Structure 1
């Protein structure tokens, strides 16, 4: 039964709070109800229903209207917290891996938790139970098999939880009959043989999408993606009366908004999940969410924290209050947490598979809380784009927050962004063991042809005494994916928990693919020492590759991987198989720490250009793990002088490049001695060289950036080749001196071709209803987007007719594209006619072309170019300026005579875009179509700047959007379904 909080008492409470809240918002509950327990027998005593084996798309991501502002938000450069290198500390391979589920569910929603003797595993929409050795003790079963309130319920989004303070398992899912949240609580620690109590908690008339549950002392807290457009006033966080549920009694539910929140369509806050043997005091239960300054209404990137206090005696007196905003001044570095304008397809896979959903705007499950003497700690992560200047590159931004007293302020103890190479990393899940060591597991993906990686599961971590902000443990594999995800939906989450039996083992459950199946793999790993005596070598500190001599000191890093402090043990090294030098380390090294040791005997490394192989070993008596005792490292005696260009950093491909573009290069010192006054040149195409001197000093192994004082003219649209090299006198290795880079001026409105002197280009164009005769030359480009015709894709073949005024032989040719994906770029796979000859002037020639059966319906841009290819070979470059020719743009509308009525209505719609000044625009689509539509904005480079949803307001679809932060230039807006849409070009000045 719904109860309304008394307005007067709430107002008085709000007024009294103003004096101490520093203008932080506070709210009471917006929904109160209760649920009775329905008892069910032990799983071992019941016949279980097998899970469905059919392909099924589960729970399309519920989303509200997002608020991304194209061009807004920091940072504008590389994420300064990025970890660019892998950790170096060796860690044992997973001590256990096993396939937990095989399914056609899309996605599988992998989840699971370890208890004292079992691992309970869940996926959409089923569960199974394993022992701690990975043996299945209860077979895969539908969630409906749990019985009670779960009977006939298979909507999914399950979460498996182990409440170590009560020694109980929880299994959850949501329901839409009616909208509610289902919870099964075991009666003991044995999920197979102990019975269960089941609950159905009403959720106030809206589906509790993407629920994530956590344990606090006074309740089970559930965060949802619910009421995203009114999250600051509507129910978002639910709290269930934990004490009553543990006894099987009727339990209350209290729901809260998140006052002061900003959302971006889909969103997912997180509750702090208590673990580690000591339960927190009741009250001040934290909820956290990131706030991205790319969203409207957010002035700077920050973490927002709320505190919830529940009064179960008088639930109406319960409160949620904004507690803190941790921004740049509090140690939260700027981040980009928005991908593709808020779209759900983001990361490329190898081959022709669809782009994956990166799970943006999500505090990844779980945010784990643990108590230590003198402080409390919480770890959390979410995905970020590490470099806004390049193609999207996903990395994992992670935090450890600390609190020095219960209920006190949280501070950023450390932050980092894990992105150690060019591969994408996302769908992270992290936890902290009893020693303060952090484990992080995640998905890795790479679409590069050279090193393709299908979605795969890996892990890293750090020890409590390691340098802050770094994952110091070597990245290790749980499972390498064998095939791509056949859908853009991935995950929708992964789940890492800490084993309550030893409080140091991490159990991670994630999704990978083995065509045609989606599979869930559990990997169990740990960082903490599991033996007393274990010493090894982890690094050769000196010498390093440089100019070396005949008496080089040898320094190594010794790691104590064990628990016991060690001293007085032998350490040895040899070079290129020569005599072994053995000495004794007489100091002491505590458990899970490292120390440097320098041998008293130096090494002779005096041959220039020689590669030397060091083998370094320890020989601790009674060492219980010999795998890490030896390390092999190669060191090279470098040429004293050896520098080169490693990259040409600017100019880069862009719009309307100027006649005075900077040329910037990175110079690296590959040699063994510092270098200064380095001669460096650049050359544009076959033009003359520009020579300058880099006057600074570059240390060994370091690099420096040089911007030439002489600028380069790239004002003519087209492609350019830039060459740069160093010319250091006496350079020992010329092979690394130079780099070449291609850039393009991509205005894509290629004005400036000569179509008048000889009559080159298209003078007549006919396609369907378009008849454009006696086309004037102008400046070589003409915008005829107002001309439009329908192309019924079910007809297959179409005829285009053209003329030219140039009476040529076979040199006058034309090409034609249709921008089928509406991204403003005429891609190679959208080229429908390529370099077709127009044999003579003033004669109409007809040519056939065809469309794919699945060509996207709706309005698209058509581009046609013609010219004398004996002067200009760039006819098939839709953006270059031809010397003699023309480029014209038209509109076409792809139809299908077999369309449904709704598709037909949308395809007939008229789209208008009006400039409201100051970078604000309004798009209006007039149509009788009445379902929710998708709107996208692309720039002329094809980058998606915005994706959103828009509803019919009764008169049509009106969408207001802010481009005041966007760069000046041409953009394309599309409104429609994924099948049918209307496209229009607009200009930001």
Structure 2
């Protein structure tokens, strides 16, 4: 994975072994590299706590960075084949959706070079996670694949970890698991703790060379292994569904975002001019007609004519589905995806197990001590402090590794564009030595810094090894990258902020969960509005400009469930804000 240190492109490596069985010797070749379609295989920086179970269950292991049990080899008359898989993140944003990247490698004969014949990414229907897979070929070249699945971020019902299967026929289009998902066994509870599975296993029945046997782990009152046998059924006559939302992806989104989807004809009949739709946050659907024929067993891409306004910062759930009359299988019609509008920051990992990087950091009201080693990247943005522009501050840090090449650099994303630009670097190459001793780093907030809340990035590492300390996104061999929140303030704005404290927020209810919000005030500085649910999760965020004598905002809550929601208007200081609540019935 190119997210790993020292890796420039996503690829597969293989080695060949030539064994002299008579003399007990052998030769292993140099690595052969085959580049593949880009993938994201890192979950939570490489930790073992990854996939959220339903109803508040523990986050369990996605079994990442591992080719799953096992790479299966089979000889055919004119070629040899090997199939294998590993887990990837198909979400495309800050969320997580486990999916299965699978491959078939082929060689034209014994002792010939291997090459990539086909690859695909399998996502389970209804937005479920799919991982911990095992696949094998039968004598006809068909592939059967068993896997674990459970509720994903957008799954509407509760699905505990269970055992499922899919597959493909030898003559299907390359890269697609065409067989409708089948259920071997559903679990009745959550896996306790983070550890799950380690591996699963699939075999082909030698009696008929067409029945697949699969074993994996689930909860049936307690942890148990579950064994199932299945065969591959031919496709249904009329079966159409959305298998991916390719665009938009999380980042700084606009008022005119194109919704681009992949439509899969799973059935045996060609489908002409089908209707498709999408909605955002369960709002009113946008319904359009795909112009043309989708041949049986093929996938096409469609871009909706009607674009979406995703400019307001927050998380949007986009669901796209097909509306085929007489669909033989409606279970695979819909695909949902969470997209976050706002800055999207890189998360470089590094090895901190030897004590490299920052193990203590104190800055004004932020006290982070001790800092444990995880993946080398940690998001501490829930920790914040206010810093006045034009003023010098002292940061106190410690490292856990004793070398004069251990250095630290820091940035503040003052324009909030998701990138730490070179002109946003606050200090660079500060020596952090010796270990276990407080080191003081003085720095000054630029006098022209934008007011408000910004992300601060602090990096520290051993600069004699690989990884550019002063590239805020570069993985380092040894070190840490930590993010915090700073609120840049200006003491000269105190009078204006006092005016804001004495202002009144007015909320006008328009009906159909629509609201007009205004704040009439003499204050004229920067102001933002945020909407929170009762659990404190931010649903929407916008920066506001004053219009005449007031700040105004139209709030659309048509997607929101019944409950209490908090509206917060604030300046660049966490101490100055106005809040009101609305109740949606």
* Cα shift at 1:358: 1.2
Say which of 800, 817, 823 aligns to 2:379. 823
- The CA distance in 1 between the partners of 2:54 and 2:473, in whole Å, is 31
1:744-893 residue pairs with structure 2 within 5 A? 785-787=363-365, 823-826=379-382, 861-862=383-384
- The CA distance in 1 between the partners of 2:220 and 2:169, in whole Å, is 34
Q: Give the equivalent residue in structure 2 for 1:334.
A: 38
Counterpart check, 1:395 vs 2:95: no
Q: 1:501 to 1:966 in 2, by over 3 A?
A: farther
Cα deviation, 1:552-598, whole Å, max 9, x if unaligned, reads xxxxxxxxxxxxxxxxxxxxxxxxxxxxxxxxxxxxxxxxxxxxxxx
Cα deviation, 1:289-310, whole Å, max 9, x if unaligned, reads xxx2222333322221111122
> Structure 2 unaligned runs (5+)?
262-271, 276-287, 294-300, 317-337, 346-360, 371-376, 401-405, 412-420, 438-452, 487-585
SS state at 1:351 partner: helix
Q: Give the equivalent residue in structure 2 for 1:523.
A: 228
Counterpart check, 1:320 vs 2:66: no
Given that 2:50 and 2:60 are in contact with CA atoms closer than 8 Å, whether structure 1 keeps it comes out as yes
Q: Give the equivalent residue in structure 2 for 1:410.
A: 114
Say which of 33, 50, 62 aligns to 1:358. 62
Q: 1:400 to 1:790 in 2, by over 3 A?
A: closer
Cα deviation, 1:469-518, whole Å, max 9, x if unaligned, reads 22121111111121112221111111112223333322211011245x21
Measured on the aligned residues, the alpha-carbon RMSD in Å equals 5.8
Counterpart check, 1:538 vs 2:247: no
Q: Give the equivalent residue in structure 1 for 2:291.
A: 699
Counterpart check, 1:295 vs 2:8: no
- The CA distance in 1 between the partners of 2:142 and 2:409, in whole Å, is 56
* Cα shift at 1:313: 4.4
Counterpart check, 1:424 vs 2:2: no
Say which of 73, 76, 79 aligns to 1:372. 76
* Cα shift at 1:427: 0.6
Q: 1:742 to 1:315 in 2, by over 3 A?
A: closer
Counterpart check, 1:913 vs 2:505: no
Q: 1:924 to 1:700 in 2, by over 3 A?
A: farther
Cα deviation, 1:380-431, whole Å, max 9, x if unaligned, reads 1111122433522221111222221111012222221111432111111011
* Cα shift at 1:984: 6.7
With normalisation by structure 2, the TM-score equals 0.51
Q: Give the equivalent residue in structure 2 for 1:461.
A: 167
Given that 1:324 and 1:409 are in contact with CA atoms closer than 8 Å, whether structure 2 keeps it comes out as no
Cα deviation, 1:314-341, whole Å, max 9, x if unaligned, reads 445x2100263222xxxx3222222233
- The CA distance in 1 between the partners of 2:209 and 2:260, in whole Å, is 49
Q: 1:959 to 1:984 in 2, by over 3 A?
A: farther
* Cα shift at 1:365: 0.8
- The CA distance in 2 between the partners of 1:425 and 1:864, in whole Å, is 43
Say which of 178, 201, 216 aligns to 1:510. 216
Cα deviation, 1:30-69, whole Å, max 9, x if unaligned, reads xxxxxxxxxxxxxxxxxxxxxxxxxxxxxxxxxxxxxxxx
* Cα shift at 1:447: 4.1
- The CA distance in 1 between the partners of 2:431 and 2:303, in whole Å, is 47
Given that 2:85 and 2:100 are in contact with CA atoms closer than 8 Å, whether structure 1 keeps it comes out as yes
- The CA distance in 2 between the partners of 1:514 and 1:397, in whole Å, is 28
Say which of 189, 204, 219 aligns to 1:483. 189
SS state at 2:64 partner: coil
1:632-651 residue pairs with structure 2 within 5 A? none
Structure exhibiting the larger radius of gyration computed from Cα positions: 1
Q: Give the equivalent residue in structure 2 for 1:663.
A: 256
- The CA distance in 1 between the partners of 2:458 and 2:410, in whole Å, is 18
SS state at 1:310 partner: strand
Given that 2:251 and 2:342 are in contact with CA atoms closer than 8 Å, whether structure 1 keeps it comes out as yes
Cα deviation, 1:784-831, whole Å, max 9, x if unaligned, reads 923566999xxxxxxxxxxxxxxxxxxxxxxxxxxxx963343xxxxx
Given that 1:380 and 1:399 are in contact with CA atoms closer than 8 Å, whether structure 2 keeps it comes out as yes
* Cα shift at 1:439: 0.8
- The CA distance in 1 between the partners of 2:315 and 2:71, in whole Å, is 49
Cα deviation, 1:701-722, whole Å, max 9, x if unaligned, reads 98535698x99987xxx7799x
- The CA distance in 2 between the partners of 1:323 and 1:653, in whole Å, is 37
- The CA distance in 1 between the partners of 2:251 and 2:146, in whole Å, is 36
Q: Give the equivalent residue in structure 2 for 1:203.
A: none
Say which of 19, 44, 50 aligns to 1:346. 50
* Cα shift at 1:376: 1.3
SS state at 1:341 partner: helix
Q: 1:921 to 1:428 in 2, by over 3 A?
A: farther
* Cα shift at 1:522: 0.9
- The CA distance in 2 between the partners of 1:520 and 1:512, in whole Å, is 6
- The CA distance in 1 between the partners of 2:315 and 2:22, in whole Å, is 74
- The CA distance in 2 between the partners of 1:462 and 1:720, in whole Å, is 35
Given that 1:651 and 1:662 are in contact with CA atoms closer than 8 Å, whether structure 2 keeps it comes out as no
> Structure 1 unaligned runs (5+)?
1-291, 529-535, 546-646, 676-695, 722-740, 749-782, 793-820, 827-860, 866-884, 894-904, 930-939, 976-981
Counterpart check, 1:446 vs 2:2: no
